[in-house]
Structure 1
Amino acid sequence: MSRPSPSLREWWIAVGVSAAIVALTSLPYLYGFASEPSGYHFTGLLINPYDGNSYLAKMEIGRRGGWLFHLPFTAEPGTGVPLYFLYIFLGHAAAWVGAPSILIFHMARALAGLVLLLTLFAFVARFFEMPGARWAAWLVIALGSGFGWLAVPFGGFTSDLWVAEAIVFLSIFANPHFPLSIALTLALYLLLIPGFGPPRINWRQALGIVLAATATAHLQPFASVTIGGVTAVTYAAHYYLKRDAVKRDHVARFVVFALASLPWLIYDFWLSQTHPQLKVWSAQNQTPSPPAWDYLITFGLPLLLAIPGAWHAFRRRTETDVFLLAWLVTNAILLYAPFALQRRLSLGLSIPIGVLAAQGLVFGIVPWVEGRAASRAYQALLRIVRAPGTLRIGLFVAMCLP
């Protein structure tokens, strides 16, 4: 399904807004450094400092000239292995320019955030012809979160406040590898899913799949599992709904993705079972999913708006609609699969919810309001939703942001 591409002016605005969002995520860190009390040292980490310090320790391996990872927080680090290349490379970069590791960490975080936001803009544009609708979807995904802030006074601490990989804004705030992994995930979907690209695969697309799949499998192996599952379900649903024969092009795309991903996934699993130190570390690395009610609060109003959006997508059933529903359903199942690292599979889950939420607004709520515009209250709301795109976006974003 072809959609009009954003204009050059839209792209420049997206670049400016993306830079502003990334700058916004940096303000708390700048405040931390500026308000550091005498005799104390601000580490430059605000969310999940335990993991954050492990990233800096990996960078230290590179700063000291190493390229192989070993566990730094143990008396027996074991033999080095080719893992965590991103942070080891950043450590080398810090040594090359003579900068503090934390500065390079945040520069990489900002750059990865820009890459994610612009990739997200390209991704969202595939779903909406109206500029106002795609801007609303993009801003809600980029800035939105859930109702967790309302639960804090009652002792609640839901996932939208700390599970950074699930929420786009929080992932940009946390580290470089979450936003980069989400950007790679979106790029792979644009290359793999019917309706996003040319009907026949060419060598450039195949090369793009190989590079993105290899990088994803190394950077965030769990994302490869989700991408493979969502793509397979999308293909199966496409064939079932269209009563179509299996297309060689789809098989070719999936095979290229699998051949690029599986070697790294198998190698990672083999290391976790055979490397003495990594085996012990893997045994204690448990990240189960929170209960389902936690996710309902985590995704908040966008999830509620996604209900009419999902119904519209189910009735319309275009290739991209089928993909969105497949992503949401497959990911929801994977979050509770019998697997010790369930929560890691929530990477980027706010994205399909945000797109469906925007569809719910554009194709569900606005037509419903227009059909009931007789009363003065409905007339007032109708004037808002018929207002210029900027005002409409502002209303939608204000509704969805915490």
Structure 2
Amino acid sequence: MKRLSEKMIAQMHLTGIVLLVLVIISLPYLSAWAGTPAGMTFTGALLNPDDMGVYVSAMRQGANGHRLYHFTYSPEPWQPRLMLLLYLVLGKLTAVFTTPTVFTLHIWRTLLAALSIVTLLFWVRTVFPKQVRRQWISLLLILFGSGVGWIAVFLFDNAAGWSPDLGFAEWSPLIALFNTPHFALGLGLEALFFALMLRMSRKNGAHQLWWALLAALVGLLDSLVYVYHLAIIGLVVGFLMPATAFQARRIPWRQWGYGAVVLLPQLPLLYYYAFQTNNDPYWTQYITTTHVISPPTI
């Protein structure tokens, strides 16, 4: 009975944290929608405003049956590519109920943010097994400990434009959950991936293979959702393997084999984004200009 009570208390704590975060990441958007002047439209973006139209476009393409993303904001003959897959899938799911809009995009962001908070809890429980107090403190620090850059707002003009805590969407977990669906889900998948890797390193025998296979699957999903995580996964696992050899003063072939299992699904994506995508000069320009193409000079 005591164990059940402790479990219920933990669930209440988690529910409270999730609801608090969802309120924090939703109120600014609701305020912007409510305060939009007559005759104007809120684009749904409070960070990275250049990108939002692309995501909604991808959702609508998914709703129309597309499996690859077509860049529709240019008269140039762009070739469809495996990009923004999450939004294509969300568009297909949204089309079952309604037409994809900026509002439905943010509904998905909120749901995926809640899911990611649960995976972050799985991560801290993996790092600090059976240390409940540390687990909750760690989760709170991850979600709300983004730094003290917000203080600059009260000290300097235009601080929000250069303070990374407020202006960089990738800077902290809370800002990632606040920004877009692929940021929110990507954060959760990344945390889940490294939690699985950590569990793999702590197990022996056949259990290691199962954790490696799960990590490989989650890593593949993460790279499909947030393509830049492909580099993070590759670099971290790539450095981890020689680090384990240095620590053990020998080559742990079994551990390296599991690491290879984890990285193997990433190789086709690496080839695709490094070589196949660059076959189209328009996509190359799109990627090298950080997805915001400057207009030609007059």
Shift in Å, 1:166: 2.7
1:159 aligned onto 2:160? no
User: In the alignment, which residue of structure 1 is the partner of 2:134?
Assistant: 133
- Map 1:382-401 onto structure 2 (within 5 A): none
User: In the alignment, which residue of structure 2 is the partner of 1:83?
Assistant: 83
Shift in Å, 1:196: 5.7
- Residues 231 and 11 of structure 1, relative CA distance in 2, 3 Å threshold: farther
User: In the alignment, which residue of structure 2 is the partner of 1:231?
Assistant: 237
Alignment equivalent of 2:220, drawn from 214, 224, 232? 214
Structure 1: which amino acid aligns with 2:197? L
* Maintained 8 Å contact 2:22/2:110: yes
The Cα offsets for residues 171-200 of structure 1, whole Å up to 9 and x where unpaired, read as 000011112112211222122236765223
Whole-Å separation in 2 of the counterparts to 1:230 and 1:57 = 33
Which structure 1 segments of 5+ residues have no match?
A: 1-5, 288-402
- Map 1:60-209 onto structure 2 (within 5 A): 60-128=60-128, 129-152=130-153, 153-156=156-159, 157-193=162-198, 197-202=202-207, 204-209=210-215
Whole-Å separation in 1 of the counterparts to 2:214 and 2:69 = 27
* Maintained 8 Å contact 1:94/1:101: no
Aligned length: 281
User: In the alignment, which residue of structure 2 is the partner of 1:243?
Assistant: 249
* Maintained 8 Å contact 2:63/2:100: no
Any idea what SS the aligned residue of 1:126 has?
A: helix
The Cα offsets for residues 318-375 of structure 1, whole Å up to 9 and x where unpaired, read as xxxxxxxxxxxxxxxxxxxxxxxxxxxxxxxxxxxxxxxxxxxxxxxxxxxxxxxxxx
Any idea what SS the aligned residue of 2:205 has?
A: coil
Whole-Å separation in 2 of the counterparts to 1:80 and 1:35 = 37
Whole-Å separation in 2 of the counterparts to 1:79 and 1:114 = 35
The Cα offsets for residues 36-73 of structure 1, whole Å up to 9 and x where unpaired, read as 32222222221221112221122222233322212121
Structure 1: which amino acid aligns with 2:167? W
Structure 1: which amino acid aligns with 2:44? G
* Maintained 8 Å contact 1:145/1:167: yes
- What is the TM-score with the length of structure 2 in the denominator? 0.84
Aligned-residue sequence identity (percent) comes to 26
- Residues 195 and 204 of structure 1, relative CA distance in 2, 3 Å threshold: closer
Any idea what SS the aligned residue of 1:87 has?
A: helix
Any idea what SS the aligned residue of 2:265 has?
A: helix
Any idea what SS the aligned residue of 1:166 has?
A: coil
Shift in Å, 1:223: 1.3
The Cα offsets for residues 122-180 of structure 1, whole Å up to 9 and x where unpaired, read as 11123334422221111011112223223341554122212222310000000111121
- Residues 192 and 200 of structure 1, relative CA distance in 2, 3 Å threshold: farther
- Map 1:228-377 onto structure 2 (within 5 A): 228-248=234-254, 250-285=255-290
* Maintained 8 Å contact 2:219/2:233: no
User: In the alignment, which residue of structure 1 is the partner of 2:26?
Assistant: 26
Structure 1: which amino acid aligns with 2:86? L
Whole-Å separation in 2 of the counterparts to 1:286 and 1:110 = 24
Any idea what SS the aligned residue of 2:116 has?
A: helix
Structure 1: which amino acid aligns with 2:276? L
* Maintained 8 Å contact 1:191/1:197: no
Cα RMSD between the aligned structures? 2.5
- Residues 286 and 99 of structure 1, relative CA distance in 2, 3 Å threshold: closer
- Residues 30 and 169 of structure 1, relative CA distance in 2, 3 Å threshold: same
* Maintained 8 Å contact 2:241/2:256: no
